[in-house]
Amino acid sequence: MTSSQARAVDDPAESTDEAENAGDAGHTGKAHSTNADSANRAESAGGAGSASGAQPADAPGGAVGGAAIRPGPHPPGPSGQSLRTAYSFLTNPLDLLIRLRHEHGPIVRGSLGRGTVYLVNDPAAVQEILVSSQRVFAKGFRRKRMPLDEGIQPLALLLGSGLLTSSGELHRARRRLIQPLFHRQRIATYGGTFARLAEETISGWSDGQRLNIHEEMTELTLGIVTRTVFDLPMNSDLVLTIRRAIAANMGVSRRAILPGSRYLEKIPLPTTLRARNSRADLDRLIREIIADRRREGADGNDLLSLLLTTRDAETGAPLDDDAVRDEALTILLAGHETTANALSWAFHLLGNAPQAREALHAELDEVLGDRLPTLDDLPRLPYTRAVFTESIRLYPPVWIMFRRTVADHSLGGYDIPAGSTVLVSQWVMHRDPDYWPDPDGFVPQRWLEPSPTSSPTDETQPSATGPASEPRSTATRPKYAFFPFGGGSRQCIGNTFAELEAAIVLATVCRRWHLEPTPGHSVTPLPRVTLRPRSGVPVIAHRRNP
């Protein structure tokens, strides 16, 4: 398996410095459409520039690494169209980002209303932003007269000060404490839960039944994370309360980038009141669960018990109830929707790619036969895992990340002033033809290494969507051409959990069922906080008899 594919089973505890929680910002938009075989093709782009710059400074200012930044050239970008660009970002961001990359290159300067933003689409520059100079590029975005961290305030209203919304020393201390809970050996104990709950879900389907697979996967992943975090069943009161809270707060998150959004929470609009009341209900219920668990004794293997008993390796300090609440809720909410979206896109892509679907079924029939998958099976299911990896390349659950510069910085030969907003988009990078032959095609084979018996010239296979072929080795592709879980010290702490869960669910469902796309329904992405399918993914379920 390649280095990119191997990350699906890597131990996150071994690479704390290479971590990034990628759930970054709320967004709206009319999305980029797809057809039965692939998404609309991205235009060929210009050459990618390299990233370079001074070392990060510990504090904001006009100098970085002790050297003053001299005025330099601005990156290219659209001119005199700030309102038009802002409108396009709100209504059609996916097409806009692809177009800006195609027309202006890997680093683009533009305006959203009155603010200047920089769109960065070069792997070396992305690595610099997320890893080597991450102290300069803080999480969130900035508007004039806006506190630095207010860009993530809508999420903080719901999640508190968990890993997703905290920063600085608080984030470092929390990550140091929580990281061991996501050690692969510990996650492996949940493999049976993944398969069992997936089997319960599909056992209720009937041959020929019409389903919205996005709704099915949302219910399943919410049930999985509820069981693994709180040791509660899928039909618990907590699940119902979470559903209401997510629905009520989605609009609040969408408004995050609008001018004046920080004042909307104070206005007693019906949507604001519903969001506020749902947060209060969820907070009260989770605190009751925490109190009950402390009273009864936290001796289970669920993540809540582990949060209640863990101690900081450096200070020996435990988490208080507020911190336990924030982290448990962050894991629960961030951990189910992204995986549900990713699985839904995988089923959509498989439904429109007969060759890929047949290859997947053949692998599952050979390895599993008539039994449920286990985590021990995954090394023998490379194509299954490649299907999921290719799905999150085309439809990354988190499609954009916002950063703000706390100091002047040189990036790719351009001077980026302190206080700037920097956008990094997985949607754009994952479809860049400079790094991905057949960038909009669904090609699981691109993640597979050549077999030991293949000849030196046997380097390509047919595309799952047509005659195009793809080199099987990914060794020469830049690391940050593919970063669905971010990078640096804020990488998604649950990436291994999510990838193992998704592989088990995908194998469990596909060994029994073929999901045919509903005729006449176009599935398009809806860019919100995550990249979800607009109007779901309607399918017709056909039982398989391998």
**Which helix H or strand E contains 111, and what residues bound it?**
strand 107-112
| Residue 107 β-bridge partners | 120
Per-residue burial over 134-155, b = 16 or more CB atoms within 10 Å of its CB, e = otherwise:
bbbbbbbbbbeebebbbbbbbb
Binding-site residues, in ranges, read: 492
DSSP 147-186: -TTGGGHHHHHHH-SSTTT--HHHHHHHHHHHGGGG-HHH
| φ, ψ (nearest 5 deg) of residue 529 | -60, -40
Phi, psi of 541 (to 5 degrees): -85, 125
Pairing of strands 460-463, 466-471: antiparallel
DSSP 30: P
**Which residue, 248, 198, 118, is CA-closest to 373?**
198
List the binding residues for heme. Answer: 492
**Strand 115-120 versus strand 421-424 pairing type:** parallel
Instruction: Provide the 8-state DSSP code for 234.
Output: T
Please, are residues 32 and 525 in contact by the beta-carbon 8 Å criterion? Answer: yes
Q: Nearest to residue 349, comparing CAs of 297, 394, 383?
A: 394
User: Which is nearest to 359 in space by CA: 456, 465, 207?
Assistant: 465
The residues with which 424 forms a beta bridge, in sequence order, are 120, 401
Distance CA 253, CA 151 (A): 10
Q: What is the DSSP letter of 352?
A: T
